[in-house]
Amino acid sequence: MSMLFSAFDLGRLRLGNRIVIAPMCQYLAHDGNASDWHLVHLGHLLLSGAGLLILEATAVEALGRISPHDLGLWSDENEQALSHVLSSVRKHASMPVAIQLSHAGRKASSHVPWQGGQLIPVDQGGWTPLAPSPVPPSPGEPAPEALDQESLVRIRDAFALAAQRACRIGIDAIEVHAAHGYLLHQFLSPLSNFRTDEFGGSLSNRIRFPLEVFEAVRSAVPESMPVGVRISATDWVEGGWDLEQSLAFADELKQRGCTFIHVSSGGLSPLQKIPLGPGYQVDFAASIRRATGLPTMAVGLITEPQQAEDIIASGKADMVALARTILFNPRWPWHAAAALGGQVEAPAPYLRSLPRGLPAIFGDVRFGQR
């Protein structure tokens, strides 16, 4: 029996298999509102046969957007737009849907990637990014504005309010984004946090605000809703955030009711030196799982079915998360099921698509029946 296609309980949420669609920014929202693009994009991914889909990084306030085109969940209009998309696609798919709540911090006010990704100046329609300390993410860029106590409270509460909105529209789980050089990661790393108050300096101080945000989100939603955290296990820079600190942070999160850790790396410093290769971040997920007992998602250059199967079967992670791989091949779980002897849920109109000679992979038909 394929371990990749075995069920997994994420807290009280049952996943049909261990394949997760990772958050992937689309940069096609309007004032934070989900658009027709999201209807198409999410619709076909929700028919992929994966066990869970996590929506892209969703800003908890307008100043926290990476770009002016980020998805958001800070207003009634944002909530209504996303609710419309989800209710539409869920008529045809039953895959659980999580959301990644985020604040870009000093990486905000940027052009979309296909336009270069550089900072948008205020006089060209951008805004002044916020950060733990007035340290720009790249040399030559203007310094962000250091957050004061009032702003910290506002952002913490914005995460909680966004979590409540997510709960109202039927989201099944929440992932707090503390990775990839965005705001909460900026607090964690000594390369971006030079504060001299209770939120800077020692490890216990640097993890304080991210923990406060997690606690606010955890308290804002029902106990039955899984709440996890995406972390960068290392900055890949000498003297930066590293695995040892990640283990300490994960342990504190576990004590506060964290359901899972989604383990990535990097994204904070242009000095990072990442040894790219198949599954290059998997050992970080294995270390966190082994040290804390928390369920982990492994992500990063996981492209082959047998590779994913081996990660789960060896106990290195509880779930594998796919990003670019599943954009390139939205039926990756179907092909993996055929290769590994697994089964996936499929809509009835697609049943005749199975090529002759392949094993019966469609184990559960939820839609199109009379």
pLDDT digits (tens, 9 = 90+) for 38-92: 999 999 999 999 999 999 999 999 999 999 999 999 999 999 999 999 999 999 9
Confidence at residue 190, expressed as pLDDT on a 0 to 100 scale: 98
Confidence at residue 369, expressed as pLDDT on a 0 to 100 scale: 40
How does pLDDT run across 337-363, given as a tens digit for each residue?
A: 999 999 998 888 888 888 887 778 887
Q: Which of 103, 9, 102, 3 has the alpha carbon at shortest distance from 52?
A: 9
The angle at the Cα of 78, spanning 75 to 82, to the nearest 5 degrees, equals 145
Query: CA dihedral defined by 132, 138, 142, 147, rounded to 10 degrees?
Result: -10
The angle at the Cα of 58, spanning 156 to 155, to the nearest 5 degrees, equals 15
For 130, phi and psi rounded to 5 degrees? Answer: -110, 150
Which residues make beta-bridge pairs with 299? 321
Q: Which of 226, 101, 232, 83 has the alpha carbon at shortest distance from 156?
A: 101
Measure the CA–CA gap between 283 and 280, rounded to whole angstroms. 7
Query: How many Cβ atoms sit within 10 Å of the Cβ of residue 138?
Result: 11
| Tokens representing residue 175 in the block | 């992932």
Asked if residue 113 has pLDDT above 50, the reply is: yes
Confidence at residue 370, expressed as pLDDT on a 0 to 100 scale: 30
Confidence at residue 297, expressed as pLDDT on a 0 to 100 scale: 98
Query: For the residues 225-242, what does the mean pLDDT come to?
Result: 98
Asked if residue 97 has pLDDT above 50, the reply is: yes
Whether this prediction's pTM lies above 0.85 is answered by yes
* 17-330: CATH topology: TIM Barrel (3.20.20)
The angle at the Cα of 142, spanning 233 to 70, to the nearest 5 degrees, equals 60
Asked if residue 205 has pLDDT above 90, the reply is: yes
For residues 241 and 265, the answer to whether their CB atoms sit within 8 Å is no
Confidence at residue 365, expressed as pLDDT on a 0 to 100 scale: 57
Query: For the residues 224-253, what does the mean pLDDT come to?
Result: 98
Query: For the residues 360-370, what does the mean pLDDT come to?
Result: 61
Confidence at residue 367, expressed as pLDDT on a 0 to 100 scale: 52
Confidence at residue 366, expressed as pLDDT on a 0 to 100 scale: 57
Residue with tokens 């980020």: 70
| Tokens representing residue 302 in the block | 């996981």
Confidence at residue 140, expressed as pLDDT on a 0 to 100 scale: 87
Query: For the residues 295-316, what does the mean pLDDT come to?
Result: 97
Residues with catalytic function = 182
Asked if residue 368 has pLDDT above 70, the reply is: no
Query: For the residues 298-316, what does the mean pLDDT come to?
Result: 97
For residues 333 and 319, the answer to whether their CB atoms sit within 8 Å is no
Asked if residue 183 has pLDDT above 90, the reply is: yes
Stated length of the chain: 370
C-alpha separations of 200 from 33, 105, 163, 249 in Å = 34, 16, 26, 15
What are the domain boundaries of the chain? 17-330
Measure the CA–CA gap between 210 and 245, rounded to whole angstroms. 13
CA torsion through residues 250, 179, 55, 345, sign: negative
| Tokens representing residue 339 in the block | 């290769």
Query: For the residues 195-204, what does the mean pLDDT come to?
Result: 98
